[in-house]
Amino acid sequence: MSRLKMGMVGGGPGAFIGAVHRLCLAMDGEFELVAGAFSSDAAKSRETGAELGLDPVRVYGSWMEMAADEAALPEGERIDCVSIVTPNHVHHGPAIEFLRRGFPVVCDKPLTISSALAEEMRAAVASSGKLFVLTHNYPSYPMVREARELVRGGAIGRVRKVYAEYLQGWLADKLEDTGQKQAGWRTDPARSGPGGSLGDIGTHAFHLLEHVTGAQVTRLMGQRTSFIEGRAVDDDAQVLFELDNGANGTLACSQVCVGRENGLRLRVFGTEGAIEWDQEHPNDLLVRWKDRPAELRRTGNGYLGESAQSLGRIPPGHPEGYLEGFANLYRSAARAIRSEADLEDACPTVDDGCRGVRFIEKVIESSEARAWVEFDG
């Protein structure tokens, strides 16, 4: 089967996530990167295209030019899908334009910078009938899928308590004043949107807790803080929440926790047991039971459920995680484009993205009002 042809918007010089996507979309041989508009600066876009060995004719000076020119190519030559890996404020325009021209879209998270723009994107997906994948990569880890199957399958009983946290320390100083590109756009509300840590990592924790439990947040109370003087977005947030299954819990996200690297952690407690998963030790899932000793389940073993086993790539004891999670997501996208069977909820959708944007806005609303708010995302 021939590889699907991928185009990319963003991911030019100094970008982080674009390089990650390029590695992972190629990992299974499902996609080949053939075109791109890698920067809003045409010269920088050409520079990246040359580094990647692309045909200069398929390296564009803008995403508008790319969408028009690729759509004009014969069906067998144009791209089959586009990956959008730009800062948050440049998700909306390219996504809608490529959908309008009939291309499936893979888009980085959060979906965009406001719920109004998010709803426009949702409408564009509906009217196009094309696949839209939001790149929450953590649900594509094998042990997250094992946790989901245990929780949703009722193994730990009725869920009562959920604790989600995502702690980093890289913005504990005002790195944005040093010219560091990643810090610069992530702390600029014009480019990141109104949520700093909330949008960058809080939405990951939010999506993960709903994905694993199958429950949705219905009510919340949030508190946002900017610990670094002069920072225009939050660098820390904490949220109390209630779920539609009667459970409740907390979510914490911070980028000023000195010494923490990428501490995404989920704990779910039910009436009969509990699960604990830590992204920095992604191959391990701790399962606790009310009436017997705790057990440690690990990636690659035959005792795992079929879903978790299908996401694993190497034998037990060989670490895998972040890159493989993205690769699993792209593999699922390829299967969806080809109308092949795949895992349930393998690809986060535009609906998940709309909920993530609403989560940011509701936490901000609650923090400003210092009150509980209904979540109708």
Q: Within this chain, do residues 298 and 160 fall inside the same structural domain, yes or no?
A: yes
Residue 200 has pLDDT above 90, yes or no: yes
Domain boundary among 95, 117, 134: 134
Q: Within this chain, do residues 239 and 105 fall inside the same structural domain, yes or no?
A: no
In a domain, 377, yes or no: no
Domains identified in the chain, total number: 2
The residue-averaged pLDDT of 178-206 equals 96
Domain boundary among 134, 168, 192: 134
β-strand pairing of 132-134 with 159-167: unpaired
**pLDDT the model gives residue 1:** 66
In a domain, 25, yes or no: yes
Q: Within this chain, do residues 210 and 161 fall inside the same structural domain, yes or no?
A: yes
Q: What angle do CA 7, 353, 158 make, to 5 degrees?
A: 130
CATH of the domain at 26: 3.40.50.720
Domain that holds residue 14: 4-134
Q: Within this chain, do residues 243 and 101 fall inside the same structural domain, yes or no?
A: no
Q: Within this chain, do residues 119 and 173 fall inside the same structural domain, yes or no?
A: no
Considering the entire predicted model, what is its pTM?
A: 0.96
Q: pLDDT-derived band of residue 376, with 50, 70 and 90 as boundaries?
A: confident
Tell me the per-residue pLDDT of 118-149, one tens digit each, with 9 for 90 and over.
999 999 999 999 999 999 999 999 999 999 99
Name the average pLDDT for the chain.
97
Q: Within this chain, do residues 189 and 299 fall inside the same structural domain, yes or no?
A: yes
Q: Within this chain, do residues 96 and 236 fall inside the same structural domain, yes or no?
A: no
Tell me the per-residue pLDDT of 71-99, one tens digit each, with 9 for 90 and over.
999 999 999 999 999 999 999 999 999 99
Q: CA separation (Å) from 95 to 101, 134, 232?
A: 10, 11, 27
In a domain, 261, yes or no: yes
Domain boundary among 88, 105, 134: 134
Q: Within this chain, do residues 146 and 294 fall inside the same structural domain, yes or no?
A: yes
Structure tokens at 263: 């501490």
Q: Within this chain, do residues 308 and 361 fall inside the same structural domain, yes or no?
A: yes
In a domain, 197, yes or no: yes
Tell me the per-residue pLDDT of 318-356, one tens digit each, with 9 for 90 and over.
999 999 999 999 999 999 999 999 999 999 999 999 999
3-state secondary structure at position 41: coil
